[in-house]
Amino acid sequence: MSKNVKRQFPKWSELSPLLKFTPPKLPSRKKRLSKALTIWDLRAIAKRRTPKGPFDYTDGAAESEVTLERARRAYLDLEFRPNILIDVKNVSLECEVLGEKFAMPMGMAPTGFTRMMHSEGENAVARAAQKFGIPYTLSTLGTTTIEDVVRAAPDGTNWFQLYMWKDRDASMQLVERAKKAGVKNLLLTVDVPVAGARYRDTRNGLTVPPSLTAKTIFDAIPRPEWWMNFLTTPAISFVSMQSWNGTVAELLDFMFDPTMTFEDLKWIRSQWDGKLTIKGIQTVEDAKKSADCGADAIILSNHGGRQLDRAPIPLHLLVDIKKELKSNLEVHLDTGILHGTDVLAAIALGADFTYIGRAYLYGLMAGGQEGVERALTILHTEMVRGMKLLGVNAIAELEPKHVRLLPTHAGLGKLPIGK
């Protein structure tokens, strides 16, 4: 024993304050979500609680999934450059986008078949967005009508995303419904002349709604809550059609119009008198053409890596777009954002706004609306902390000087990280 330490028996008066026993509690959604400190934690919970088909639909991307991995790697392979000794007691994330003010520079991207991920579906996401003061965008492939979403979140900012179908009249009927429901911003997605090759969905035989097969029933055994919700809530239906009996890929190829051109974009602009955002821009040239066609904003997006594999990475493209685009066109961005500082990096490099998709869907699968709110709380906390560490008090203070893209993403290229 050490000669430098004097030993004694502990006294109860000294020991009792250290004993912090708490009675065991039954598992609950609140307790489960409180343990999630990151979006990756929510993903782990979501994977445990969601059948393989719906989870892989959310988690996966096209072909080798290289595009998605590169997009995520882009945010990891950058360097923040903070300023020190600045009063950052009061930090604001508020921003103004397309003439509206939001509490954070981040919105909820449109995602298809959301009630397949969790029975609370689009309504839960819209209500969470309303609570946090950010916009929610309903997808053409959503499983809740625009009217029901607006009723669920009447004080929120609800936008609508349009896929131009082969049936143009049916497409514009959706647009008219959105307009009547009070939608002020139409997001036109333009990177889907055909569905990407999403091999996870093909291997899983994913249908909408999921089919009851021997494989899915076996998969359901450790996930009884999801299946109970699925079987005891109204059948999954679509914004855009009553039903579909095939696979997801077959549905997308049936709906998408491969003949759409910039002339159609001009026509849509003439039909829609609200704000028009073009989603799926992947080159400087197309950004300029979209501006010429009357777009109010563009979203640099490779569809979350779900369309063309090895497509451009939005964060990298952003730098070129800001150099070349000389207009009042707002530049938004999505794909790969899983941390609050990812948002800060995009804003610093010139983005006016960002969108999350998988990040909030992981939360939804982990715990319905409460899970989405947990995801937004995590991202908000990370943004506020990141701004304080960078030495900025407002979103407008973020500049390119705060971020440096490391050489691997300055044109040298790099292989993606492994799964």
Half-sphere exposure of 40 (CA within 13 A, CB side): 3
Assess if residue 13 is contained within a domain. Answer: no
292-326 in b/e form (b: 16+ CB < 10 A) is ebebbbbbbbbbbbbbbbebbbbbbbbeebeeebe
- Per-residue pLDDT tens, the chain, 419 aa: give them: 567 777 777 777 766 676 666 666 667 889 999 999 999 999 999 999 999 999 999 999 999 999 999 999 999 999 999 999 999 999 999 999 999 999 999 999 999 999 999 999 999 999 999 999 999 999 999 999 999 999 999 999 999 999 988 888 888 999 999 999 999 999 999 999 888 889 998 888 887 666 657 677 677 778 888 888 888 888 877 766 655 666 666 777 777 888 899 999 999 999 999 999 999 999 999 999 999 999 999 999 999 999 999 999 999 999 899 888 877 899 999 999 999 999 999 999 999 999 999 999 999 999 999 999 999 999 999 999 999 999 999 999 999 999 999 886 444 444 444 33
In sequence order, the β-bridge partners of residue 298 are 278, 331
Assess if residue 14 is contained within a domain. Answer: no
Q: How far is CA 335 from CA 2, 21, 72, 93, 108, in A?
A: 58, 44, 8, 20, 12
**CB of 137 within 8 A of CB of 378?**
no
pLDDT given for residue 226 in this prediction:
85
Residues assigned a catalytic role: 303
Q: What pTM does this model have?
A: 0.91
Report the CATH number that the domain containing residue 309 is assigned in CATH. 3.20.20.70
pLDDT given for residue 354 in this prediction:
98
Split into its structural domains, the chain has a count of 1
Assess if residue 26 is contained within a domain. Answer: no
pLDDT given for residue 404 in this prediction:
94
For residue 189, the one-letter residue type is: T
Assess if residue 79 is contained within a domain. Answer: yes
Assess if residue 416 is contained within a domain. Answer: no
Q: Parallel, antiparallel, or unpaired: how do β-strands 106-108 and 275-281 relate?
A: unpaired
Assess if residue 18 is contained within a domain. Answer: no
Assess if residue 173 is contained within a domain. Answer: yes
Q: Please, is 392 exposed, middle or buried when counting C-beta atoms within 10 Å of its C-beta (0-12, 13-18, 19+)?
A: buried
pLDDT given for residue 399 in this prediction:
96
> Cα separation of 65 and 67, whole Å?
6
Assess if residue 104 is contained within a domain. Answer: yes
pLDDT given for residue 133 in this prediction:
98
pLDDT given for residue 415 in this prediction:
43
pLDDT given for residue 205 in this prediction:
81
Domain span including residue 349: 39-408
